[in-house]
């Protein structure tokens, strides 16, 4: 793919910054820094444009907190001004990233997403006898700044834009020269783009019959388990040599009829169900919400909102979960996590 130029000035044009502001404000209207920025909107956008054009825009400002559901992760939430900056960048650069990706990569893309990835996996499971499931160990923390910047330089021409990419990437490090913060828009696109060479290896060089990736979770489908085992070694070697990444054990080859755990579901050739972890999480969180309501820590409207959000996750298109949901919702207080294990 040819390098793309002529993007830099478009990022700090007023129309683009206005659009970025509107996108950054979605779901953040109650935040104090969002309200302060919005109160002096025109002045703040003008100053942001000036800082961008001068190459002096501040990056790396935000807050960090830890979440524990579904697993422990450190989240880095950028300040509102930087959220506007990230949206301004991606308004212009997202189409370039999009053209660099193959069709069967599903994270952070319009018209794709988790449900589309699951349906694609079920399609491959119906067509092939075996699958290989892999993901990357501590993916966001393991991304090499040097490798990422090198790949960005082969995609974009504008020197000021590449310098801004460098400053954003190097403003965070989980270890020297490594890591992307979880929680920022640019990180999502950088992380998805970083594994593009893996997609091309699998599809063009290894010529795998079926392949789908959602961020760093990916599956390969074929009819010969021995061939998949060989390709698992080739993928592992490529990840280490070219991308400085390590697969998260255990990577495994299995028959599709036995089901593949992926993106919160278990994928079979003919259907999908919630996997064990999702079932246990659903039952546990429902009991927690009911206990909080009983203790007066939330009102009925808040309880309904949280339960609706919890149920929405189980209503994934093509996933058989109605009987499970009913069994939990009817008698949640009498059940334990073990009642919902397959």
pLDDT tens for each residue of 179-208: 999 999 999 999 999 999 999 999 999 999
Calculate the alpha carbon distances from 211 to 113, 198, 199, 216 in Å. 15, 11, 8, 13
* pLDDT score recorded for residue 338: 43
Concatenating the DSSP letter of every residue in 203-221 gives IIIS--SEEEEETTEEEEE
* pLDDT score recorded for residue 321: 73
> How is residue 169 written in tokens?
């990437």
Over residues 282-291, the pLDDT tens digits come to 888 888 888 8
Long-range pairs for 152-156: beta carbons < 8 A, 24 or more residues apart:
152/190, 152/193, 154/3, 155/1, 155/3, 155/4, 155/96, 155/97, 155/100, 155/193, 156/3, 156/4, 156/5, 156/7, 156/93, 156/96
Answer with the residue of higher pLDDT: 109 or 315. 109
In this predicted structure, the answer to whether residue 13 has a pLDDT above a threshold of 90 is yes
* pLDDT score recorded for residue 331: 62
Q: What is the mean pLDDT of residues 156-172?
A: 97
- Residue with structure tokens 């808040």? 302
Q: What is the mean pLDDT of residues 267-279?
A: 90
In this predicted structure, the answer to whether residue 122 has a pLDDT above a threshold of 70 is yes
* pLDDT score recorded for residue 307: 83
Over residues 63-107, the pLDDT tens digits come to 988 887 777 889 999 999 999 999 999 999 999 999 999 999 999
Mean pLDDT lowest among 154-168, 194-208, 309-323: 309-323
* pLDDT score recorded for residue 336: 44
Question: What is the pTM (predicted TM-score) of this model?
Answer: 0.88
pLDDT cut 70: percent of the chain above it: 96
> How is residue 53 written in tokens?
């054009």
In this predicted structure, the answer to whether residue 138 has a pLDDT above a threshold of 50 is yes
* pLDDT score recorded for residue 290: 86
CA 66 – CA 79 distance, rounded (Å) = 17
**pLDDT, the chain, mean:** 91
* pLDDT score recorded for residue 311: 78
In this predicted structure, the answer to whether residue 339 has a pLDDT above a threshold of 60 is no
In this predicted structure, the answer to whether residue 341 has a pLDDT above a threshold of 60 is no
Q: How many CB atoms lie within 10 A of CB 326?
A: 10
């Amino acid at each position: 793919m040819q390098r793309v130029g002529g993007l830099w000035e478009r990022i700090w044009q007023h129309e683009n910054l206005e659009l970025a502001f509107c996108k950054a404000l979605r779901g953040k209207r109650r935040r104090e820094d969002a309200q302060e920025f919005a109160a002096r909107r025109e002045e703040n956008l003008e100053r942001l444009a000036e800082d961008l054009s001068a190459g002096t825009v501040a990056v790396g400002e935000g807050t960090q907190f830890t979440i524990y559901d579904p697993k422990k992760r450190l989240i880095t939430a950028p300040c509102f001004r930087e959220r506007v900056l990230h949206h301004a960048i991606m308004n212009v650069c997202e189409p370039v990233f999009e053209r660099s990706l193959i069709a069967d990569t599903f994270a952070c893309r319009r018209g794709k997403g988790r449900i589309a990835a699951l349906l694609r996996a079920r399609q491959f499971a119906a067509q092939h006898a075996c699958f290989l499931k892999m993901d990357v160990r501590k993916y966001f923390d393991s991304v090499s700044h040097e490798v990422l910047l090198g790949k960005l330089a082969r995609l974009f021409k504008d020197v000021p834009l590449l310098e801004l990419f460098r400053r954003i990437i190097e403003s965070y490090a989980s270890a020297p020269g490594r890591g992307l913060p979880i929680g920022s828009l640019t990180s999502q696109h950088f992380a998805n783009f970083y594994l593009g060479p893996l997609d091309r290896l699998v599809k063009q060089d290894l010529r795998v019959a079926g392949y789908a990736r959602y961020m760093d979770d990916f599956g390969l489908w074929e009819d010969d388990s021995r061939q998949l085992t060989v390709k698992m070694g080739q993928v592992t070697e490529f990840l280490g040599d070219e991308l400085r990444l390590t697969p998260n054990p255990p990577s495994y080859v299995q028959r599709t009829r036995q089901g593949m755990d992926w993106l919160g579901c278990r994928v079979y050739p003919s259907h999908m169900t919630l996997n064990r972890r999702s079932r246990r999480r659903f039952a546990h969180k429902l009991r927690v919400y009911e206990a909080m309501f009983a203790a007066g820590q939330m009102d009925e409207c808040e309880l309904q909102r949280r339960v609706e959000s919890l149920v929405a996750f189980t209503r994934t298109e093509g996933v058989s979960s109605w009987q499970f949901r009913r069994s939990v919702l009817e008698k949640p207080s009498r059940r334990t996590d073990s009642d919902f294990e397959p």
